[in-house]
A and B are shown apart, each in its own frame.
Chain A
Amino acid sequence: MVLAFFKGSSSDGDFEHIVTRSISMLADARHSFDLATLALLTDADPASVAEDIRDTDQRINDAEQDLRSELIVHVSVKGGADIGSVLGFTLLLKKIERIGDQAKNILELSEAGVQLSGTPEAEDLLAGRQVLSALFAEAGELLGDQDTSEEALVDYAMRVDAITAEHQAKIDGFMTSERPGKEVVPLAIYYRYLRRTAANLLGVVRTSAKPFPHADYLEAGAVDTDD
Chain B
Amino acid sequence: MRGPIRSALVFALIYVFLVGVSSLEAGIKIMGQDTQESLFSAAGNPLAALCIGILGTVLVQSSSASTSVIVGLVATGALGVDEAVPMVMGANIGTTVTNTLVSLGHIRQSNEFRRAFAAATVHDFFNVLAVAILLPLELLTGAISSTAEWISERLVGSAEIEWNSPIKKWVKEPVGWIKDLWDALGTSGNVQGGLVVASGLVIILIALTFITRNMRHLVADRVERSVNAMLSRGGGMVALLLGLVITIAVQSSSITTSILIPLAGAGVIALRNAYPVTLGANVGTTITALLASLAASSPASLTVALAHTTFNVLGIFLLYVLPFARNVPIRGAERLADLAVERRSMAVAYVAVVFIVLPLIGVLALG
Contact residues of A with B, CB < 8 Å? Answer: 1-2, 4-12, 14, 66, 69-70, 72-78
Q: Which of A7, A10, A72 lies in contact with B266, CB distance below 8 A?
A: A72
- Alpha-carbon distance between A74 and B229 when the two chains are bound, in angstroms: 13
**B231/A2 in contact, CB under 8 A:** no
Nearest-Cβ distance from residue B280 to partner chain A, whole angstroms: 9
Interface of B is mostly: helix
**B259/A69 in contact, CB under 8 A:** no
Interface of A is mostly: helix
Q: How many residue pairs bridge A and B at CB < 8 Å?
A: 71
- Alpha-carbon distance between A5 and B246 when the two chains are bound, in angstroms: 8
Q: Which of A2, A6, A9, A77 lies in contact with B224, CB distance below 8 A?
A: A77
Q: Which of A7, A9, A70, A76 lies in contact with B259, CB distance below 8 A?
A: A76
- Alpha-carbon distance between A69 and B268 when the two chains are bound, in angstroms: 6
Nearest-Cβ distance from residue B303 to partner chain A, whole angstroms: 29
Nearest-Cβ distance from residue B219 to partner chain A, whole angstroms: 6
**B268/A73 in contact, CB under 8 A:** yes
**B263/A76 in contact, CB under 8 A:** yes
**A5/B223 in contact, CB under 8 A:** yes
**A2/B245 in contact, CB under 8 A:** yes
**A5/B226 in contact, CB under 8 A:** yes
**A4/B221 in contact, CB under 8 A:** no
Q: What does the 1/0 interface line of B209-251 toward A look like (CB < 8 Å)?
A: 0000000001111111111111111000011011001100100
- Alpha-carbon distance between A6 and B242 when the two chains are bound, in angstroms: 11
Residue of A nearest to B223 (CB): A77
- Alpha-carbon distance between A14 and B227 when the two chains are bound, in angstroms: 14
**B242/A5 in contact, CB under 8 A:** yes
- Alpha-carbon distance between A94 and B223 when the two chains are bound, in angstroms: 26
Nearest-Cβ distance from residue B245 to partner chain A, whole angstroms: 5
Residue of A nearest to B260 (CB): A76
Nearest-Cβ distance from residue B105 to partner chain A, whole angstroms: 12
Q: Which of B3, B242, B249, B262 lies in contact with A1, CB distance below 8 A?
A: B242
Q: Which of A4, A70, A77 gathers the greatest number of chain B CB atoms within 10 Å?
A: A77
Nearest-Cβ distance from residue B222 to partner chain A, whole angstroms: 5
Q: Which of A7, A10, A14, A70 lies in contact with B228, CB distance below 8 A?
A: A70
**B226/A2 in contact, CB under 8 A:** yes
Residue of B nearest to A78 (CB): B220
A-B pairs, top 7 by smallest CB distance, nearest first, are: A1-B229, A4-B229, A5-B226, A4-B226, A76-B262, A1-B230, A77-B224
Nearest-Cβ distance from residue B316 to partner chain A, whole angstroms: 16
Residues of chain A within 8 A (CB-CB) of B224 are 73-74, 77-78
Decide yes or no: A66 and B259 within 8 Å by CB, A5-B225, A73-B224 being known contacts. no
**A10/B268 in contact, CB under 8 A:** no
**A77/B3 in contact, CB under 8 A:** no
Residues of chain A within 8 A (CB-CB) of B227 are 73, 76-77
Residues of chain A within 8 A (CB-CB) of B260 are 76
**A7/B225 in contact, CB under 8 A:** yes
**A12/B263 in contact, CB under 8 A:** no
Decide yes or no: A1 and B218 within 8 Å by CB, A73-B227, A76-B263, A77-B259 being known contacts. no
Decide yes or no: A75 and B3 within 8 Å by CB, A1-B230, A66-B232 being known contacts. no
Q: Which of B226, B229, B232, B260 gathers the greatest number of chain A CB atoms within 10 Å?
A: B226
